[in-house]
Chains A and B, each alone.
Chain A
Amino acid sequence: MTDEQPIYLDYAATTPVDDAVAAAMAVCLGRDGVYANASSRMHEPGRRAAEAVEAARSQLAELVGAQPAELVFTSGATEADNLAILGAARYFADRGRHLVTTRIEHKAVLDAAQRLEREGFEVTRLEPDGEGRIDPAAVAGALRDDTLLASVMWVNNETGVVNDVEAIGRVCRERGVLFHVDAAQAVGKLPIDLASLPIDLLALTAHKFYGPKGIGALYIADRPGVQVQPLLCGGGQERGLRPGTLPVHQIVGLGAAAARAQEELAAERGRLAALRQRLTAGLTAVADVCINGAGAERIPGIVNVSVAGVDGESLFASLEPLAVASGSACNSTAGEPSYVLRALGRDDRLAGASVRFSLGRYTTAGEVDRAVSIFARAVAHLRRIAAPLAGRAA
């Protein structure tokens, strides 16, 4: 399409694997590597693999402020969300059959909730406010005597808006309701100390913080009344909650990524905040561009803008060589305007003409400036084409 090098600004969709992470993973591959089955503890190679797995579990536990035994490895956040929601609901089905979640969750949560509805559960889906936040009072108001579980994402994947999961968790705990958090966009980006938070279940994935795809974890708080029923049957790995031979190289990659994120978190947040400010100033200098969630706390890496007076598909075709997302990349193949932005009150055209810029570890100020320039040129081009429509009756 264009000879220019792509400018990758889609870190919320996925991140490249950090070089140090890739090197740590490579140690596990090949005949001289830590390739043995981590369950084969009767021999030395198996014990080495098990040690590598537990070292990685400790690295991840350190990043999120959990005990290592509270973490169960999964294939990613989608599986972890499913295990949390389906697993907890099925385990405690005799206690109640009502769940609370929101309209702006990732499909991994929404579809799991829908599955439970087909199994006879009732689901309340809360609307966000105009900035994309979930009000803890709204959660409190939705809880019932038969509510088993509430599920609210920490950071929205499209807007970057941060929910007050501490307040929401407190409400749930007061009412004896399990609280699950999809933290795919939060881990590695926000300081997290699960030991001090009223969160029972939390899903995360490595590939959002420079680890490999295909590995994630579910945090299951070590406190009475927090249980999940496994989704799979098999060899009893991960305390029987997630059976299957452990992918040692993936787990080691997750651990290494967690350690690196821990080292860089504070400095990286500051750097990304400065870049976001630069990006926001540039994008909003273009007329009739609004930042989605501008009035809410947001993680520094995400800026989501809606552009009036242009067609969404044409906007994206004009943005090359920028690698950016139209709402959620996980959902963008559907060709539908973002359900998250519609929940924020954007109409179909404005939701369709929305762009998510997500910055990351390798983003430079020069790339941000180039992105602003390409964006401004694209919007001007499309508005010039649409200008003769002005004044025509709708």
Chain B
Amino acid sequence: MNYGAEVLTLFREAAHAGRVAGGASGGARGRTGGVEIVFSAAAAGGTIESMRFGALGCPWVIAACEWACRQAEGGPVAGLASLDAAAFAAALQAPAEKTGSLLVVEDALAELARALAAAGEQR
């Protein structure tokens, strides 16, 4: 598999891998069990202050999770909705066969958004 420079950088750094202690969390897994993701975040006043992820998946999945955390931190909770598979594919120049895996990332973010809403943060 040929990975672009952006994917490799995000995959290798994965600086946001981890867990936000005491934060809200949401996760998803692929139907075949090949991909598992969990995001956790702390938000205040509708703004995501910190966000982390855990993932078992290919480099595209890990890169997408890292990219999503970088995009989300400091932004509105409502902004999570714009971080979808199409956005990941465009940012990472992902091949079509990775769409299924990127949809799992999207699902995990949606679960995180629901958890934040349940915790009283705006969606």
Say which residue of B3, B55, B58, B62 sits within 8 Å of A389 (CB atoms): B55
Whether B58 contacts A314 by the Cβ 8 Å rule is yes
Whether A384 contacts B17 by the Cβ 8 Å rule is yes
> How many residues does chain B have at the interface if contact means C-beta atoms less than 8 Å apart?
26
How many A-B pairs have beta carbons closer than 8 Å: the answer is 64
Whether B1 contacts A313 by the Cβ 8 Å rule is yes
User: Could you say which interface size class chain A belongs to?
Assistant: 10 to 19
Whether B36 contacts A385 by the Cβ 8 Å rule is no
Contact with B along A305-325 (1 / 0, CB 8 A): 000011101100110000000
Whether A388 contacts B57 by the Cβ 8 Å rule is no
Measured between alpha carbons, how far is A384 from B11 in the docked complex, in Å?
12
Whether B33 contacts A388 by the Cβ 8 Å rule is no
Instruction: Determine the chain A residues whose CB is within 8 A of the CB of B27 once the complex forms.
Output: 389, 392
B56 CB–A CB distance under 8 Å: yes
Chain B nearest CB, measured from A302 CB (Å)? 24
Whether A314 contacts B59 by the Cβ 8 Å rule is yes
Whether B33 contacts A317 by the Cβ 8 Å rule is no
Say which residue of B1, B40, B59 sits within 8 Å of A388 (CB atoms): B40
User: Which B residues from 84 to 118 make CB contacts under 8 A with A?
Assistant: none
Given contacts A314-B11, A317-B3, whether A385 and B59 have CB atoms under 8 Å apart is no
Chain B nearest CB, measured from A8 CB (Å)? 20
Chain A nearest CB, measured from B50 CB (Å)? 13
Measured between alpha carbons, how far is A314 from B19 in the docked complex, in Å?
20
Measured between alpha carbons, how far is A389 from B40 in the docked complex, in Å?
11
User: Which B residues from 28 to 61 make CB contacts under 8 A with A?
Assistant: 29, 33-34, 36-38, 40, 52-59
B18 CB–A CB distance under 8 Å: yes
Q: List 8 A-B contacts (CB under 8 A).
A: A313-B59, A314-B58, A314-B62, A349-B33, A349-B34, A384-B14, A385-B17, A388-B53
Binding site for A on B (CB under 8 A): 1, 3, 8, 11-12, 14, 17-19, 27, 29, 33-34, 36-38, 40, 52-59, 62
Binding site for B on A (CB under 8 A): 1, 309-311, 313-314, 317-318, 348-349, 381, 384-389, 392, 394
Interface contacts beyond A314-B58, A386-B55, A387-B19: sample of 18 additional A-B pairs, CB < 8 Å, sorted by A: A309-B56, A310-B56, A311-B57, A313-B1, A313-B58, A314-B11, A314-B57, A349-B33, A381-B14, A385-B17, A386-B36, A386-B56, A388-B40, A388-B52, A389-B36, A389-B56, A392-B38, A394-B33
